[in-house]
Amino acid sequence: MYNPLDPPSTDFNRDHPPASDIEPIVRAALAEDVGDGDRTAALVDDAAQIQASVISRESAVLCGTAWFTAVFAELDPDLKLHWLAKDGDYVRPEQELVRLEGSARSLLTGERTALNFLQLLSGTATLTRRYVDRVKGTRAQIVDTRKTLPGLRTAQKYAVRCGGGVNHRFGLYDAVMIKENHVAAAGGLGAAIYQARMAYAKVPVIAEAETIGEVEEALKSPAPPDILLLDDFETHLLARAVNMVGQHSRHAHNKVLVEASGGIDQNNVRDVADTGVDRISIGGLTKHVTAVDLSMRVTD
C-alpha cells in the first residue's frame, strides 16, 4: 500500500517489480514486433552462434535490465547474458553494460525490443537523477505522477526509484487525491477532506490547494490531509504556505507534507526546493522522456 510518509528506498532489488508484472509486457512487445516471424533473421544460418555486447553512447543512469533479460529469455532460454552494470548505476559513454552469447537468430530478433525497454527506462531514471541532483542539500524529494505510458506504469515508476526519486500514488485506488472538481462537488476543500477521512480511515489523503486561503481551510479541517499539494504557486507563496503548515504541525502535533507541482523544470526546481517544500512532483519524469542512446554490437 502506498504511504506518503515512507522514506525513499534505495534497495532496487527489494523494490524490483515481480516477474508477473514484467513477462506479460515483454510478451506483448515481442508479439508487436515479431508477429508471425522475423523475416530478416530467418536468412541467417539456424546454427550460427555469435557474441554481442551493449554499450552506452552517453552518460546515463541504467535501468531496465530485468525487462531486457526477459526479452531474450522469452525468445531463447539458452542465450547467456552477463551484466557488467546494474540498475541505478551511473554509466559513461562507451561503457559496456552487458555481454550476450548464443543463437544469432535469437539475438538479432530480440535486439530492438530489448533495447527499447532499456533505453526508455534508463531515460526515465536519468532524467529523475538530474532533478534529484539539482535539489541536493534541501529537504525536497522528487516525485513522479500518474502521467505514465499506458501499460508501463510499474516499469516507469521503478525507473524513477532507480534515479533516486519517490513514487506518488500508483493509481486511483491507493490514495485519495482531492482536486478542484472534487472540492466543488463537496462544497469546499475542508468539507471534501473531512468526507475523505470519514470514508477512508486508513488511506492517505492528498488535497490540492490553489490559494493561500485554501491552505488555511485545509489546515483548519478536523482531520487535515497527509499531503497538501500546492499547484502553480509562486515561490514566495510556497514559502509562506510551508511556514503555515510548519506552525500547524508544531501546534497540532499532526505532520502534513507540502508538495509543489505545476510549471516546474530543471531551471527552477532548485528555487522551488529552497522554499522548504517536502516534495516536488514532476509529470515530465515519465511523460517527457528522451531514450538513452544505447547500441548492441556483434563482437564475434
Q: Which of 147, 255, 270, 287 is catalytic?
A: 147
Residue pair 131/272 in contact (Cβ under 8 Å)? The answer is no
- Residues 27, 80, 112, 220: which is the catalytic one? 112
Query: In angstroms, rounded to a whole number, what is the distance separating the alpha carbons of residues 88 and 285?
Result: 15
C-alpha grid cell for residue 83? 551484466
Q: Which cell numbers hold the place of 64? A: 531496465
The question of whether 147 is a catalytic residue gets the answer yes
| Other residues' Cβ atoms within 10 Å of the Cβ of residue 293 | 14
DSSP 63-107: --HHHHHHHHHHH-TT-EEEESS-TT-EE-TT-EEEEEEEEHHHH
Q: Cell numbers 516507469 correspond to what residue?
A: 156
Q: Which of 99, 146, 179, 270 is catalytic?
A: 179
Per 3-state DSSP, the chain is made up of helix, strand and coil in percentages (nearest 5) of: 40, 20, 40
208 is an active site residue: yes
Q: What is the DSSP letter of 258?
A: E
Give the separation between CA 207 and CA 209, rounded to whole angstroms.
7
> Over the Cα atoms of the chain, what is R_g?
23
- The answer to whether the CB of 109 falls within 8 A of the CB of 34 is yes
Q: Is 220 tagged catalytic?
A: no
State yes or no: is 112 an active-site residue.
Answer: yes
Q: Which of 208, 214, 217, 278 is catalytic?
A: 208
Q: Hey, what's the cell of 154?
A: 510499474
179 is catalytic: yes
Active-site option among 23, 101, 231, 293: 231
Contact by Cβ (8 Å): 152, 127: no
Active site residues: 112, 147, 179, 208, 231
